[in-house]
Copies of this chain bind each other. A is one copy, B any other.
């Protein structure tokens, strides 16, 4: 999962008694050992043999906890599936995590092998290597484990395994049937997933889905995320003379494709960033309780604006979380002729804008693309899906070529869902702290089609620190997050729903 915010991490507060704390620390210690072992198996999904070694490790570990596990073949790498013995009278929880990791470039890391976990303490602004045996006397929750996938996403898998151990030690009766599905190609876009979920629909059947991926909110507080935006793209190209022409000979005569494109783009958004395409925001309405939940996310404009270095944000929403409730229309790229050192005094042949549209559940991607196309047509453009010929150029005043990208739709679970309320309450009770509820995150996760296919309520319950540098060199996991994760899974699997 992509980070949705990553600024600073605050310390997680606990409420346990001193005795509970000691027991927990035993399991945290064990999870450190298990995570070192797991991370040691490289997990770039382009290496089939490595993925298989991870699957074998997982089979052993889950089976040892009483799970029945299966390797599910797909069109790509196989998925890992495990379930505890089912009981008919219990609701079923399905956990989704992923075993693959981002590729590594060891030369960019501050350690020789990104797959060999290094323990570090912070000394001022410097991370300092520590021997693992120093943890025996001092299990410092602020120290960190550096290595690929410590946070994204092997850490949470190990947290679940150790929470199961602690639950078993305490003879807790699970209020749910427990299923686990682990993706092998999440970092490559989970391409086999939509088809696999159709094939294994019966096996995956559950009452709700809990995704343990990505970091908790930047405030460091317990977090539940109810959805994420989708995405689709458009490439727009306008045309000038058929070949680039000398700007002296034809300036004021040959139409300039950059001005045509600028005029079109300017017609799509007002000065405050609101999309002017008819119907673009149709179907979206935020009632007072929803707005209240958005406002309750502990973040402030000054911090976000300072991070972006902007004076004033766009005005689609009144504040950051509100802005994510709407589909966006973003120019991710512009190109025409040459800029900078290569600049030439020409009237360019064409001008191109690369557009991406982040989707919300109210705005189906194909519907939005149609609205934009209608808008473009209303601006007087003749729309084509190929490069115009000379004859076509001479037959139409203004021509645009539109290339459409595929659609990944959004998903969003209702804020009032009973399982969502259950998760929020469990986290609140486990940590004695407010739970940050994110109605929808801005980015897009590749499991959205999977969720939409299963048609069950889905929630992201992240377990790792927001400054974990996932996807980057020196990815790390705060040891305290292992305690956090074990407690969170423990709470979920030990609390009976009302």
Contacts and interface: CB of A to CB of B under 8 A. Distances in A.
Interface stretch (A42-50, A59-67, A262-270): A262-270
A397 B272 CA distance: 11
Nearest to A267: B266
A327 to B, nearest CB: 8
Contact of A248 (B235, B338, B345, B443): B443
Nearest to A328: B251
A330 B254 CA distance: 10
Interface in A266-298: 266-269, 271, 273
A135 to B, nearest CB: 35
B309 A390 contact: yes
Contacts of A228: 248
B309 A253 contact: no
Contacts of A444: 248
Interface string A304-342: 111011111110110010011010101111111111100
Contact of A331 (B258, B313, B395, B397): B258
Interface residues on A, range: 35 or more
A63 to B, nearest CB: 38
A247 B333 contact: no
Contacts of A313: 253-255
A343 B235 CA distance: 10
B308 A241 contact: yes
Contacts of A251: 328, 330, 356, 358, 442
A4 B249 contact: yes
Copies of the protein in its oligomer: 2
B443 A252 contact: no
A231 interface: yes
A242 interface: yes
Nearest to A241: B308
A335 B339 contact: yes
Contact of A346 (B256, B332, B351): B332
Contacts of A345: 231, 233, 330, 332, 356
A105 B246 CA distance: 22
B352 A314 contact: no
A273 B256 CA distance: 8
Contacts of A128: none
A241 B334 contact: no
Contacts of A338: 332-333, 354
A30 interface: no
Given A251-B442, A255-B273, A354 B334 contact: no
A5 interface: yes
A255 to B, nearest CB: 6
A5 B249 contact: yes
Given A308-B242, A323-B252, A328-B251, A333 B348 contact: yes
A259 B331 contact: yes
A3 to B, nearest CB: 8
B254 A308 contact: yes
A314 B262 contact: no
A248 B442 contact: yes
A344 interface: yes
* Residue with the highest number of chain B CB atoms closer than 10 Å, among A4, A258, A326: A258
15 contacts: A241-B309, A247-B330, A251-B358, A253-B316, A258-B331, A259-B269, A261-B262, A266-B266, A312-B397, A330-B347, A332-B338, A332-B344, A332-B348, A334-B334, A340-B352
Given A261-B334, A334-B336, 5 more contacts: A246-B442, A250-B442, A251-B328, A258-B265, A309-B390
Interface of A: 2-5, 228-229, 231, 233, 235, 240-242, 245-256, 258-259, 261-269, 271, 273, 304-306, 308-314, 316-317, 320, 323-324, 326, 328, 330-340, 343-348, 351-354, 356, 358, 380, 390, 393-397, 441-444
